[in-house]
Amino acid sequence: MAALSSSPSLRHLLLLRPRLLLSPTCLAGSFSRRHIHGRRRLFSASSSTLTHGDAASTHGDADAVVDVNPPRGSRDFPPGDMRLRTWLFDQFREVSRIMAFEEVDFPVLESEALFIRKAGEEITQQINPLSFLYNFEDKGGRRVVLRPEITPSLARLVIKQGKSVSLPLKWFTIGQCWRYERMTRGRRREHYQWNMDMFGVPKVRAEAELLHAIVLLFQRLGVTSSDVGIILQPVLQAVLNMYSIPEHLFTEVCVIVDKLGKMTREEIEKELISTGLSSEAVHGIIDVLSLESLSKLEEVLGFGVEVVADLKKLFSFCHVGTHVRETPSRA
């Protein structure tokens, strides 16, 4: 058999297609220009193509092709897109630095058990709590998963660090996540997520800091809207408690009311009723989330309610240097 270094045509082929699967027949002797040209056809962007593994099982079929598209739901970042992504991530990092957050990171591959414990919470929203996971068994027989979100990994690291870290902790992450779910416009199975997490900071102060970070980011990105709108879950929880809504419906209701302003009131009402809520509860929820002042919210929920007191404190923080409307259902 000829040495690899003695065959310029083979060296050229390896440089041209580094991941090309070579059969023993290919390694023997020299390569003609026609042979190399035929092997180039192994790669194709056609939708009716074979994977690398399939190509290897064709027993030397020169016409077998490999799909050069990324796996379904993922994407490539050629130079232009990569420059834009890097610029955006730099904005995330700069805002985090201004807010005195430290960067951390975690493995993309995690133990499956870490995310099974999240079953039933907001991440799962499906009949089968494991259906959204990219999970499999590795060669050592361990059940692993491509992380669908950051929070469980964050909690794992905090517990692992234990008393070796001092509070308060202010950490941020820009991480790649995977969810095997139905794709919609602008929503792929692979996404990147900017997390800012705090431990040992009073909850209202923490919420105010995060709102301030969002405003800083929008200013750096040139977003000119003067309002930051988020659904305040404590308000929604208080309203659900008023109507004795079961706890297991909270997440589903949150997802639906988050569409306020994006869908008509009639469409929102229809979706809420489909969850099993009564018409009275549906109208009550939407009416409360449409209130424009804390005083009106206080009339509905009652005076001295904790969520109202927290909102007053939150707005007092946010009025300094941020653009946050005093709308009780949304900050």
d(CA 131, CA 72): 16
Alpha carbon distance 108, 174 (integer Å)? 12
Same domain, 174 and 87: yes
Residue 194 and residue 263 in one domain: no
Domain presence at residue 212: no
Q: Do 96 and 36 fall within a single domain? A: no
Q: Quick one: 117 and 189 in the same domain?
A: yes
In a domain, 216, yes or no: no
Decide the pairing of beta strands 102-103 and 190-199: unpaired
Domain-embedded: residue 228: no
Does residue 237 share a domain with residue 134?
Answer: no
Q: Which has the minimum average pLDDT: 75-84, 146-155, 190-199, 320-329?
A: 320-329
Nearest one of 136, 142, 208, 149 to 179, comparing CA atoms:
149
Distances in Å between the Cα of 63 and the Cα atoms of 43, 46, 179 are 10, 13, 34
Percent of the chain with pLDDT over 90: 19
Q: Is there a domain that residue 223 lies in?
A: no
Does the pLDDT of residue 329 top 80, yes or no?
Answer: no
How many angstroms separate the CA atoms of 38 and 26, rounded? 12
Q: Is 296 a member of any domain?
A: yes
Asked whether the predicted pLDDT for residue 295 surpasses 90, the reply is no
Residue 294 belongs to domain spanning: 233-318
In a domain, residue 210? The reply is no
DSSP readout, 98-149? Answer: HTT-EE----SEEEHHHHHTTTTSTTT-SSSTTTT-EEEE-TTS-EEEE-S-
Q: Does the residue 214 lie in any domain?
A: no
Is there a single domain that holds both residue 53 and residue 98?
no
Read off the pLDDT of residues 80-111 as tens digits, 9 standing for 90 and up.
999 999 999 999 999 999 999 999 999 999 98
Contacts 24+ apart (CB under 8 A), 303-306: 305/238
Flag whether pLDDT at 194 surpasses 60: yes
How many C-beta neighbours within 10 Å does residue 13 have?
A: 19
Q: Strand, helix or coil at 240? A: helix
What is the number of structural domains in the chain?
3
Are 9 and 54 part of one and the same domain?
yes
Average pLDDT over residues 310-329: 63
Q: Helix, strand, coil proportions of the chain in percent (round to 5)? A: 45, 15, 40
On whether residue 221 sits in a domain, the answer given is: no
Distance CA(58)–CA(324), nearest Å, equals: 62
Residues 91, 54, single domain; the answer is no
Residue 202 has pLDDT above 80, yes or no: yes
Burial letters 263-297, b for 16+ CB under 10 A, else e:
eeeeebbebbeeeebeeebbebbbebbebeebeeb
The DSSP bridge partners found for residue 102 are 171
Average model confidence (pLDDT) across the chain: 74
Residue 242 and residue 271 in one domain: yes
163-175 average pLDDT score: 91
Torsion over CA of 184, 90, 215 and 121, rounded to 10 degrees? Answer: 40
- CA-CA distances (angstroms) from residue 258 to 200, 208, 238, 255, 298? 28, 20, 16, 5, 22
DSSP-derived letter for residue 163 is G
Show which of 156, 177, 201 is a domain's final residue. Answer: 201
Distance of alpha carbon 174 from alpha carbon 58, whole angstroms: 41
The rounded percent of the chain whose pLDDT value lies above 70 is 69
Q: What are the residues whose beta carbons fall under 8 Å from the beta carbon of 224, sequence distance 6 or more?
A: none
Upper half-sphere CA count for residue 276 (Cβ side, 13 Å): 9
- CATH of residue 139's domain is 3.30.930.10
Residue ending a domain, choose from 67, 88, 119: 67
**Count of other CB atoms within 10 angstroms of residue 92:** 20
Beta strands in the chain (DSSP E): 43-44, 66-67, 102-103, 109-111, 134-137, 143-146, 169-178, 190-199
- pLDDT tens, 106-160? 999 998 888 886 554 444 444 455 677 888 889 999 998 888 889 899 999 999 9
Query: How far apart are alpha carbons 147 and 109 in whole angstroms?
Result: 6
Interval 231-282: pLDDT, tens: 567 777 888 888 888 888 887 888 888 787 778 888 988 999 998 888 888 8
- Residue 156 sits in the same domain as residue 244: no
Q: Which residue has the higher pLDDT, 210 or 30?
A: 210
Interatomic CA distance for residues 155 and 158, integer angstroms? 5
Looking at 44, 67, 90, which one is the last position of a domain? 67
The counts of H helices and E strands in the chain are 14, 8
Residues 174 and 243 in one domain: no
pLDDT at 34: 42
Residue 196: predicted pLDDT: 95
Residues 178 and 246 in one domain: no
Q: Given this model, what pLDDT does residue 93 score? A: 96
Residue 173 is predicted with a pLDDT of 95
Bridging pattern class, strands 143-146 and 134-137: antiparallel
CB atoms < 10 A from the CB of 95, how many?
Answer: 23
